[in-house]
A and B are shown apart, each in its own frame.
Chain A
Amino acid sequence: MCWGPQPLKSGSKSKEIKHRVNGLPAILGGRFTSRDNGTVAEKEQTMATTEATLPKLSNGLNGHIEEIAAVELTGAEIVCKALEAEGVDIVFGYPGGAVIPLYDALPRAGFHHVLTRFEQWAALAADGYARATGKVGVCMATSGPGATNLVTGLANAQLDSVPVVAITGQVVQPLIGKDAFQECDITGITLPVTKHNYLVTRIQDIAPTIKEAFYLAKSGRPGPVLVDIPKSLFVSRMIYKPGKLRDRRGYQPTTSPNMRQVKLAAEAMNKAEKPIFMAGHGILLSGAEESFAALVEKTGIPVAFTLLGQGSYPESQPLALGLMGMHGHREVNKALDEADLLVNIGARFDDRATGKVSGFAPNAKIVHVDIDPAEIGKNVETKVPVVGDAKEVLDLLVDLVDERRHDEWISWIESQRNFVLEAALEDRPETPEPYTIIKAIAEATRGKAIYATDVGQHQMWAAQHLGLDHPNNWLTSGGLGTMGYGLPAAVGAKIGCPDKEVWAICGDGGFQMSLNELATCVQEGIDVKIAVLNNGYLGMVRQWQDLFHGKNYSEVKINGPDFVKLAEAYGVTGIRVETDAELLPAIQRARETPGTVVVEFIIEPEANVWPIVPQGASNSEMLHQYEDK
């Protein structure tokens, strides 16, 4: 299993208790026996035995489940119990016809349901919850439009390897295939955007299928798994038996690497003169940050981060170079160009990271560590492939590598930094430069908050300037680039980690996609601080039109509401920042104000993200705001 156990966030514990009765799973106390066919006397007896056996059962959920195993439950209740058995404490969802029986059972379930304002936000909140907590995120929706609204969220989790389980209702079995009201072939539709999916056809398959879905979602290379359940099964009954993992011969993820390959990788690292690490999301998914830090520090090899690899090693450390690729720092892309060895840990050589493949790290021998064998050689030819879980591989490597320093190489990389940027800041405009906003948020929160971004220019400014030092506090849609991600991901993170400060960093375009989640924040009583960088444009698209389409600004000017009034209409606080002087006080006020706060930052409408590698160009062909030195 690559999804390493994560320490329980201090906050989630209190949350858990909140949804249990007297600190015990709500499923106890005969709550599920209410529909029992037996007599009242029998029912009371069941309750009595359950209560009586409490003391010796109180340290494990399994005990409880066995205790009431002999009771007949509905399919809907079985879904709840199967979710409880996986330790689920939160689900994000939206009800509808096919899941009404499931929702009928929810009030008695031992987890809390968060009603989002759109199913896509439920899927993305589950994604944000998973990234922030390290647990599997769960979302649910009704058949037809409810299910199709999940698709973008599932695709998002698929491309970023995030463990999410989606439960959808399906029309009653006799109507499947008849184009029934709200029927939709959701397993067909989600085939390419899930790790696996199921249409459950028998009530006895519900529990084992949910068990397997969780196992698949979090093991190996994590990903989303969808379980589609017909309404007719929710209302059927059977004696509940906890699901057991079935043997799946066709699913045997390789976690332990081939030792010969590990040795070859170590040898390459020992021999290299200009080595560089490419740190990917796999390090975080594997919980391998400490192992990676040990390897980096022993080998003295500097680290370039992919967008999702940020946080896998503290950016404030001298060996951390920063973001690579399309909006990577100048010196990082220069270093890739010059390197004689590139060691990729858990990244898939996405084109936003590599630029034109033939121009990627042209002088480097490539070592690629990945848990998914299909990633090896898919995009970039690899000299030394190592298939395995990042943590296992790194722990083996650290004993085989020489202790080294690469001072000369690193000072060369440093010399490639773009100093012009700092110098040019003397005569900047009235409105705060976008990146000063990011830096101010990072400083005020000391880098310790969870930062969820939307997609666009603000996302890249955040990636470049937050200075991410901690694992799992950087939530961003990397693979799919899903606008609207920021706020729902922040909601998911806040609900999963109630004791953490959570910031969403959004553009005015993306925020207008998912701002209805403000209502969810209020209903859940949670504090999310939302920074909206308002440039009045779909900025990233405008930037491409500016640079690559002769400034033909086609359909990128976007107006919006008065965000302060909008916030107030939702019952949260709104703050507008128009000048540099207001920047820090506004961030402070947002942090001190209880509840959700929207801070709108008016920024220069045509500010661009620099540097930028034009699509299809090599990383070495990046464009700069000011003359390259």
Chain B
Amino acid sequence: MKRQHTLIVMVEDHPGVLNRVVSLLRRRSFNIDSITVGHSEQTGVSRMTIVVRGTDADIEQAGKQLYKLMEVLKVVDLTDQPVIAHEMMIVKVAAKAQQRQEVLLIAQMFNARVLDASPNTIMIEATGPVEQIESLLQMLRAFGIRELARTGAIAMSKGSGIITSKGLTGADQYAGSAAAD
């Protein structure tokens, strides 16, 4: 069964690493839904969050292929773990005076912030679980989306377990909180 997997890939922060990772996934025809890169808690190590679609076997293969890149230090599949996967979106919605109230109400429902407004538009920023961002977007489509920027998800496992360039450690301490989730 194909489904979305969220991979955390810890890589050495060298020029061209993103190119290597993306090129590898493209070449082996893995479908990337989103990819984000940024610094991690360790200097010299970047953290990528890659949302990729495939069967469990596909994703295992993707992970093994990623490990063949010299710069890849650790690959963790967070898919079946309790995680927070958040995305940020900035969207410019068409809203004249008559619609403004309604748009604001929707934004409020999703805890979204208004960043800017003009006679014809409202700019909104939202951060949250990917599904929530999708729902908000769905609601706003009715008014007309003028401009849209999304970051793609970044993810972190819940509890005291931590993912470093050495892998997921201390995950056992997390036992129990999954139930509370």
Contact = CB atoms under 8 A, between A and B. Distances in A.
Interface string B119-142: 000000000000000000000000
Interface in B69-94: 69-73
A248 interface: yes
**Across chains A and B, which 3 residue pairs bring their CB atoms closest together, nearest first?**
A374-B64, A251-B70, A250-B70
Interface stretch (A109-117, A187-195, A332-340, A453-461): A187-195
Given A187-B16, A192-B27, A250 B69 contact: yes
B23 A249 contact: no
B123 to A, nearest CB: 35
B165 A249 contact: yes
B70 A216 contact: yes
B20 interface: yes
A374 B67 CA distance: 9
A188 B60 CA distance: 26
Contacts of A188: 19
A216 B73 CA distance: 16
Interface in A152-203: 187-188, 191-192, 196, 199
Contacts of A187: 16
B60 A377 contact: yes
A378 interface: yes
Contact of A378 (B12, B27, B61): B61
Nearest to A249: B73
A373 interface: yes
A191 B64 contact: no
Interface string B6-27: 0000011000100110011001
Interface in B1-57: 11-12, 16, 19-20, 23-24, 27, 57
B67 A377 contact: no
A251 to B, nearest CB: 5
Contacts of B60: 377
Nearest to B68: A374
Nearest to A188: B19
Contacts of A248: 70
B101 interface: no
Contact of B67 (A191, A192, A373): A373
Nearest to B11: A250
B61 A192 contact: no
B65 interface: yes
A377 B70 contact: no
Interface residues of B, number: 21
Contacts of B71: 250
Given A187-B16, A373-B67, A374-B65, 17 more contacts: A191-B19, A192-B27, A196-B70, A216-B70, A248-B70, A249-B12, A250-B11, A250-B67, A250-B69, A250-B71, A250-B73, A372-B68, A373-B64, A374-B64, A376-B64, A377-B57, A377-B61
B67 to A, nearest CB: 7
Contacts of B67: 250, 373-374
Interface string A239-250: 000000000111
Interface string A335-350: 0000000000000000
Q: For the side of the interface on A, what is the size category?
A: 10 to 19
A188 B23 CA distance: 10
16 contacts: A192-B24, A192-B27, A196-B70, A250-B11, A250-B12, A250-B67, A250-B69, A250-B70, A250-B72, A250-B73, A373-B64, A373-B67, A374-B67, A377-B57, A377-B60, A377-B61
Contacts of A250: 11-12, 67, 69-73
Contacts of B57: 377
Nearest to A216: B70
Contacts of A192: 23-24, 27
Nearest to B71: A250
Contacts of A199: 16
Contacts of B165: 249
A199 B20 CA distance: 13
Contacts of B65: 374
Contacts of B68: 372, 374
Interface in A369-385: 372-374, 376-378
B70 A191 contact: no
A250 B68 CA distance: 8
A508 B111 CA distance: 73
Contacts of B27: 192
Nearest to B57: A377
A192 B11 CA distance: 18
Contacts of A374: 61, 64-65, 67-68
Nearest to A381: B57
Contacts of B24: 192
Given A373-B64, A373-B67, A191 B23 contact: yes
Contacts of B72: 250
A249 B45 CA distance: 12
A250 B14 CA distance: 12
B132 to A, nearest CB: 35
A376 B67 CA distance: 14
Most buried by B among A199, A250, A376, A378: A250
A249 to B, nearest CB: 6
A376 B68 CA distance: 13
A625 to B, nearest CB: 38
A374 B23 CA distance: 17
Nearest to A378: B61
Most buried by A among B27, B64, B67, B70: B70
A296 B16 CA distance: 46
A521 B77 CA distance: 54
A313 to B, nearest CB: 29
Contacts of A251: 70
A187 B70 CA distance: 15
Interface string A363-402: 0000000001110111000000000000000000000000
Contacts of A191: 19-20, 23
Nearest to B23: A191
A548 B65 CA distance: 35
A447 B60 CA distance: 43
Nearest to A220: B68
Contacts of A376: 64
A251 B12 CA distance: 12
Nearest to B73: A250
B22 to A, nearest CB: 10
A254 to B, nearest CB: 10
A249 B69 CA distance: 11
A348 B90 CA distance: 47
Contacts of B16: 187, 199
B86 to A, nearest CB: 27
A212 to B, nearest CB: 9
Contacts of B64: 373-374, 376
A265 B65 CA distance: 25
Contacts of A372: 68
B35 to A, nearest CB: 17
Interface in A418-449: none
